[in-house]
Every structure is written in structure tokens, then in C-alpha cells.
Chains A and B, each alone.
Chain A
Amino acid sequence: MKDTVKLISSVGNDGSKVRSDCQITLQIKDSGGLVVDLTSKVKSMYGDRMEALTREVLTFFGIPHAEVRIIDSGSLDFVLAARLEAAVKKIHPGEKREYLPEMLPDNEYSSQRDAFRFSRLYLPGNTPALMLNAGIHKPDGIILDLEDSVAPDKKEEARYLVRNALRQVNFYGAERMVRINPLPTGLDDLAAVIPHNVHMILVPKAEDPADLRLIDETIRKTLKEHDLEQEVFLMPIIETALGVERAYDLATAVPSVVAMAIGLEDLTADLGVARTAEGTETFYARTRLVNACKAAGIQPIDSVFSDVSDMEGLEANALRSRALGFEGMGCIHPRQIRVIRKAFSPTPEEIEKAARIMEAFREAREKGLGVVALGSKMIDPPVVKRAERIMRLAEETGSLPGKD
């Protein structure tokens, strides 16, 4: 058949520290049927099932003859399927079909423009083990990252893994975010992930409002092609001096931008300064970003704190962020979530106000009134919603008065 095409490919991860993943070597043959060679510590429990899935995926892609070597460390079906698909497409880059695992009904929830985004947990897009329990730690959002945490030669296989994770991993209500690569690679990322209930796209190294418009347009087009009607929000990440100068233009580039983040690691590199714990060197950039966001009516989000063992430093950092006007931070480790949420969770004053709004809302509803008023002030439905969320969060974070 295709005598000039390379008919062997290798994808996935193996190694002593790799868990819940697999490495696949696929060799397409002219004859001999499908030969599956599986090495796995769960072989006695799931070997049959894994072999059947392997045959199903290869048959789906029209491959009748191949040798597949799988070195498995406990991969779930969606991981194995993603790895197999990546192996096939590495040999046949033109293959456009997708082998999609079932979308969990639990994953069909939606998000909202004004959702709280205190803590967003970064999950490396090619590391399944870190995805499985991410939602347990109750971050406000999870970010499946296709950018910096994925090696350049792993970009494509990560895309299938992230897509399958969006369908098969329950993140227990966290806002579902994907960080794409800079354009043009990012456009391929969008095509792969958008149809699978992504709530928000994080755009790294944002500098040009035109890019945001192109991304927004691509998302709309992709949704339309799949007959989907939903809003996908954008969170540009500003990581360059030029991005800082264009903060307001980026914040207002398209209405789907609902939050904007700052990435200090890249920014300090671009500025040619060292990053310090106090952050004096990026004070201008951060306040500039906060101001642009507030002017645009969107949420300013602070950078991640990279020392995962320093919880006190993290707390101090988060409190400073909040004081500057930021409304959330990124997390690179689940243990950071609680500290950040606590630092950004509502103050007693906010809670008291929210409680009064909720009380007024209940009263109005009991009286059958269509309009909610607090004193002489009319309260809009989004305000009630936000108050409700504040109360729920206060409950969740243990900030309600009378506790402890």
C-alpha cells in the first residue's frame, strides 16, 4: 500500500513514576491481523477488556493488520483510546475521524460569565494520573493545559487525551477550562476540544486583540458545525510587556472575554527582571491589568505561586492579590486551592450584605413580588445570584459567622 509512509509510531508515557497511563508502539502491517502485546499489572483484571478496546479502535480507523505493543501502568479506557488514536494519526496525519468515548452525563453542566474563579487548578495535558482526582479537591476551575506543561513533540497526543478527559473525567462541578497553545497551533487545539463542553479557553501570551477575535470566531464556527449552542468564555493571559500595554484592548476585544490573567514568570523574563516574592518589579503590570479589567467589567486573575511547599508565602501572596483587586489565582498543586480560596473568600461584610439580599429576595418571593428591593435599592437578578453564591461559598469555606 503506502510504501513511502512510515508505518510505525510510538506515543504515551512509560517509566517508574508514570501511573494511570500507557505507552503504545504501533506498527501497521500488510497482513497477519491485529496482534496485541499487553504488559500491565492490571492485565489479569482488565487485559481482555483492554485488548478488545484496542481492536475496536484500530478497526474504527480501518486498520486490519498491525502489531500493537502496550506498556500499561493502569490506564483507564479513555486514556488507552486516546493513545491509540494518537498512534494511528501519527502514521496517518490525514485521518480526520475521531474515536470519541461516551460523554459522561455528569459532565454536561454549564458555567456562567460571573462564576467565581478564585482557584483554577492547572493539569498537565499529557498526564492522566493528575486529572483523575483533580475535581475532588474542589477548585473553582480546572485547566487542562496543552501549552507549557506539554513537551513540543507531545502536543498532538495531549490533544486527544484532553479531549477524552473532557468527556470521561468527572471534575465534580469545576469550571472546565483548556489552555491552548499560541496561534496558529492553538487553532488546532480549539478544533479538538471545543465540541466537548469546554467552558473557557485560556489564551497564553495574549498581545493582539485580533488573535482573540480569531479565536472567538473559530470557536463559534466550531460550535455551529457541531450544532452546539453554548457560550465559551475567554481568559487571555498577559505575559509580555506589550500585552500589559494593551491590557484594556485585550479585555474588550470580544464580549466572550470574561476574565484576564497575568503570567509573571514569562512577564519578568520579558521585562528582564528577577521575580521576587514581594513582586515590586511587576507592580505596575499587575495594577494596570486590574484597572483594565475593572474598566472592562471583567475579572482580573493573578499569576500562580510556584513554591508548592510554602503555604504561608502563598497565603500572603493571595491576600496581597486580593488587596490589589485581583479576584483569583492559578494553582499548580491541589494543596494551594484551599489557601487561595480562603484568602479570596468573602469577608464578613460581604457575607452580611449577601445575607440581607437573600432575605429580601425570599421576602419578595413569598409576597409574590416580581421586583426585589433592599431598602430603596432595586436588586437585579444577577446580584441575587451572586449573593446566593457568596452565601454558598461562605458556607463551603467555613466563613459563616458562628462557626468555630
Chain B
Amino acid sequence: MAKEITWTRNAAGRMVPSEINGEPVIPYQGVGKYAPTGHKHGPPIPSCRDYPPDGNKRVASLKEALVKAGLRDGMTISTHHHFRNGDYLANMIFDIAHELGVKDLRWFPSASFPCHEHLIPYLEDGTIHHIEGSMNGPLGRFASEGKMKGTGVLRSHGGRYQAVQDGEVHIDIAVIGAACADPFGNANGLYGPSATGLLGFALADSQYADRVIVVTDNMVPFPCVPWQIQGNYVDYTVEVDKLGDPEKIISGTTRITRSPDRLYLAELTARFCEVTGIIREGFSFQTGAGGTSLAVGEYFREIMKKKGIKARFARGGSNKYLVSMLEEGLVEYILDGQTFDLEGVRSMAENPNHVWTSPFTSYNYHGKGNFAGMVDVVILGATEVDVQFNANVVTHSDGYLLHGIGGWQNCLFSKTVILPIPLFRDRIPVVVDEVTTLCGPGELIDVIVTERGIAINPRRKDLIEKVKGSDLPVKSIEQLKEEAEKICGKPRKAAFTDKVIAAIKWVDGTVIDVVRQVKKDER
């Protein structure tokens, strides 16, 4: 047995353990406080003599590729979420691992989706030891009930890149699903039945993993261009029938919410940006693909058109609404992190101003800067926000882990961070005393927009000054919390056991909080 785990209170006031899965971890020290030292992690030196001189790295099956890559107990296998809820690949990999009787794998996805519920039997039988990556829906519920053998580790997209670069996570085998690839391993997400736009989430894995397998359902003769993934990093290429269910990989068309309450939130958010002058000539913005975020973009469009304003760039996931802003000249560049619909895929393939990015350019902590801080305003969601403006995106107030972090933590470094959120959802207050799980420190969160009022972080005296005299319903965050409690009642805190089921990493690799096993109601 290893030495006893000790607990310390980190800089955010959260109790965190000295180790996770037997590895020592560093407690969160504050925003920008942790200074890593040493050198980046390096994969073994490959040489051309070990690869086919004609560049044809094709093997007959995924199973053969995995065997050749040396799949064995205890390895770390990475996958990527470009196929979202339509992904077949991760499920195929662990079907094979199970068939081969391999145990104790660490699965290192850039995100998981409800379609990966298929893997629960493998978590139960020990094929997979634990997941380091988002755990959405069924997998999160499984982990929250304390059923996963190891402890989950949740990182942001930037934090995942950081963990790969500094060697915190050593990837044994990276399996990269690509909509289009050649036998050498050059790959992109642009063309074919499983088109996803880009492959940015697999970039670090291609460069740092010991072994890299590219799997495609659209093998083209060399060269596959553009090579978003460079074949020079790739060990094996495999052609399969189908990488995923196209209908679920990408929505044919994204739709703006029709919920009047969400539209109201979106409009109020856009008006806030108008009143405070955030929307001005040459500004930049990032909105997510959630219904409310999409709607914020549409209200931005109205304001920009009315005032004759152009944005220099929009960052984040692309969709048909953003593409039409690009094509109408309202936005000069889209710096795309993931493509949410077919219009986004089309635009990226044909418009040089629709640029694909990766977590390295946008979010990574071990770079010489990144794009996140250059964005004027970012619109994000949250499951809970507390009176210190701290926010939670991974657990619900009942304690269950149900979402991943995505790029959320990284985006907090934007110049203004706005969270449009309902004050409560089906009796669950969203503005609370203290968040169940801390994912983002309040010092980085500037504005909370709810249907019953807008709260501005007292640190943002400039914004407070700018809304003076406007008709925006500005309130204090405490007022909002009280209003939520007045309507819903004061909720009882979720009850947990002592068992830690997941660690939440900050963007620099330190532990900002942990998630514990939910205590089942005995009544």
C-alpha cells in the first residue's frame, strides 16, 4: 500500500488530496500562480527505417493495428470527440481490447458522449480502469455512484493539451478517427461521409503518443490535403466501413432555441454587450453551440447590422449562423475549434477566412501565450454559479457528474466572460450560496445574466460604471440568489460519501476541486 493520502485546502478553499490514482498531484494555487519547470515530454525517437519505404502504412483491421501497436494491460488509449454522439470508434477499440482480454486501460478521450454508455460493461469488468476526460450522461452517473475502479480526471481542452505536453499523461496509443485520410496517415476532417470539419483535438496526441493509428472510412490516395494531421506522426492506417452515425456526428443543421425564456436571456446578454460598448468595430467574440449561445450570436448580428459594426473574428465552434455572418461580411474571420453543422464544414473547406484551430493555438497553457485572452467577450453556460461568482459546469446540484469541462475553463481568460443562465431550472436554483463543484474561480467570471436580473462582478468597476443610467435590470448576485431561494425554497446540499470519484483540474494541471460519490437517499 502506498503512503497515506493527505488532504490540503487549495487556494480556492477546496480540500484536495495529495494523490489521484496513485500519482501525486499539485493543489490549485490561484490564477496564474503555478509555474511549471523542466522540459516538455518527448515521445521515443522514430526513424524512417522502421516504416514502409513506399509510405503505405495500411493494416487490415483496427484489431491488427492495436495488436501491432502493442496493446497491453495498463496502457493509456486516447480518442477524440470529433464524432460526438455518433462515434463508433471508441466503442470498437474497447470491444477489441475486451476480446483480447486486455485489462486496466486508462481511456483518455477529449470528451465522451452518451453513445459511450456501451463501455459501461468494460468499466465494470476491468477492461477500462478509469476515464480521464469528460464524462457525460450515463458514464458520469456510473462514476458518481462510485462504480468506476479508478478516479476520473476532468480537464479542459487546453488542460488536456497541457497534460500531454508536460508528461502528466503519457499516451501509449492514440487512435485518431478521420473523415478523410491517405495510406501514409495524412488526415483531415473535411471530406467524406463522417466529415467533422477539423481534427484539432487529436493534434497533441499525434505528436506525443508512442503509437498513432489513423482510422478512416474514406481512404484516398496520397496526398490527403489539407493534412490537419501529418502522416509523419502516424504508425498505422486503417480503413473501416463506418466511423460513426452521420446523423449524430454533426447536425445537418443547428437550430436556435425556440424557448422564449432562453431567447429572452440571449437578447438581454446581447443588449448588455451593446450598452457596455463591448460590441464595437473590430471586436471579437465567442459563443457556444448551445441553443442560448446561438441565439446570442443572432442578436449580436442584429445589433451589428443596425450599427454598421464588423467583428474582426469569432472564435469557437462554427455553425450555419456564424458562417452566414462571415459570408455577409459581419465577421472577418472564424477561428474554428469544432464544427457543429454541415454549413460549418462547407465553409471551412472553401473559405480561407474560416480557419481551423486547435487547443494548442486557442487554449494551451504550455504555449507562449494562446488566443483565449484576445477574445473580447465570451458567452458560456454553467450548471451553478455562487455568490462569489464561482461557477460549476460538471455536476448538478444533486451532486451527479453529468458534463465535461470542454473549453469552458480556457475561455474564462477572455476579456469579458458572461454567463447567461436561468435563475432556476425546474425548481433547481442555479444561483446558489456555494457551488457544488468548483470549475472556474469567480475572479475570472464577470457577468451573470438571468431572466430576473443581471449581476456584475464587483471587480468589474468599468462595466458597473457603463451600465449606469441604462434600463438593464442590474442586481447584486446576492439579490439574485435570494430571489431564486424565494421561488424555489432553500435547497438541502447534496450528500456525498468520502470517496473521491473524480478530480477537476485547472488549466495549469493543478487540482481545483474533487467530485465525490453521491450518497444514495436511504429513505
Mask for B245-285, Cβ within 8 A of A = 1, else 0? 00000000000000011011000000000000000000000
Q: Is A297 an interface residue (CB 8 A)?
A: no
The verdict on A13 contacting chain B, using a C-beta distance below 8 Å, is no
Contacts known (A41-B398, A45-B491); A334 close to B427, Cβ less than 8 A: no
- Contact between chains at A44 and B426 (CB < 8 Å): no
Residues on A with C-beta less than 8 A from B521 are 43-44, 47
Residue in chain B with minimal CB distance to A338: B267
- Smallest CB–CB gap between A129 and chain B, Å? 8
Residue in B426, B487, B494 with the greatest tally of chain A CB atoms within 10 Å: B426
Are A42 and B494 in contact, with the CB atoms below 8 A?
A: no
| Complex alpha-carbon distance, A241 and B397, angstroms | 55
In the complex, the answer to whether A334 meets B489 with C-beta atoms within 8 Å is no
Stretch at the interface among A71-79, A86-94, A177-185, A273-281: A71-79
A20 to chain B: which residues have CB within 8 Å?
A: 426-427
On chain A, which size bracket covers the interface? 20 to 34
Chain A residues 44-98 with CB under 8 Å of chain B are 44-49, 73-77
Known: A48-B492, A404-B306. A42 touches B260 (CB 8 A): no
With known contacts A74-B427, A76-B427, A46–B489 Cβ distance under 8 A = yes
The residue that A45 contacts in the complex, of B264, B398, B451, B523, with Cβ under 8 A, is: B398
Encode contact with B along A17-45: 1 for CB under 8 Å, 0 otherwise. 00110000000000000000000011111
* A136-B261, A137-B260 as given contacts; A45 in contact with B428, CB under 8 Å: yes
Residues of chain A within 8 A (CB-CB) of B5 are none
Bits for B320-354, please: 1 = Cβ < 8 Å to A, else 0.
00000000000000000000000000000000000
Min CB gap B146→A, angstroms: 16
CB-CB nearest in chain B for A40: B427
B72 at interface by CB-CB < 8 Å: no
Count how many pairs of residues, one from A and one from B, have CB atoms less than 8 Å apart in the complex.
Answer: 65
A136 touches B452 (CB 8 A): yes
B426 and A73 contact, CB distance less than 8 A: yes
> Closest Cβ of chain A: how far from B313's Cβ, in Å?
27
Chain B nearest CB, measured from A47 CB (Å): 7
**Smallest Cβ distance from A282 to chain B, in angstroms?**
28
Number of interface residues, chain B, beta carbon within 8 A: 24
Q: Does B495 contact A (CB under 8 A)?
A: yes
With the chains together, A136 CA to B521 CA distance in Å? 35
B197 at the interface (CB under 8 A from A): no
Interfacial chain A residues near B428, Cβ < 8 Å = 42, 45, 74
**B residues less than 8 Å from A45 (CB atoms):** 397-398, 427-428, 491-492, 494
Interface status of B399 (Cβ within 8 A of chain A): yes
With A133-B261, A137-B260 already in contact, the answer to whether A47 and B426 are too (CB < 8 A) is no
Cα distance A43–B426 in the bound complex, in angstroms? 12
* From B264, B487, B489, B494, contact of A44 by CB (8 A): B494
Cα of A136 to Cα of B425 in the assembled complex, Å: 15
Per-residue interface assignment for chain B, residues 507 to 523, with 1 indicating a CB less than 8 Å from any chain A CB and 0 otherwise: 00000000000100101
The answer on a CB contact under 8 Å between B263 and A47 is no
Asked if A335 is an interface residue, CB under 8 A from chain B, the answer is yes
Q: Which chain A residue shows the least CB distance to B429? A: A45
Interface centre among A20, A73, A133 (most CB of B within 10 A): A133
B307's nearest neighbour on chain A, judged by CB, is A404
Write out, one digit per residue, whether chain B residues 414-429 have a CB within 8 A of any chain A CB (1) or not (0).
0000000000011110
Is B69 an interface residue, CB under 8 A from the partner? no
CB distance from B216 to the nearest CB of A (A): 38
A sample of 20 cross-chain residue pairs with beta-carbon separation below 8 angstroms, ordered by A number, consists of A19-B426, A20-B427, A41-B398, A41-B426, A42-B427, A42-B491, A43-B521, A44-B518, A44-B521, A45-B427, A48-B492, A73-B426, A74-B425, A76-B427, A136-B452, A137-B260, A333-B260, A334-B264, A335-B260, A335-B263
Given contacts A76-B427, A133-B451, A335-B260, 6 further A-B contacts (CB under 8 A): A20-B427, A76-B489, A137-B264, A333-B260, A334-B260, A335-B263
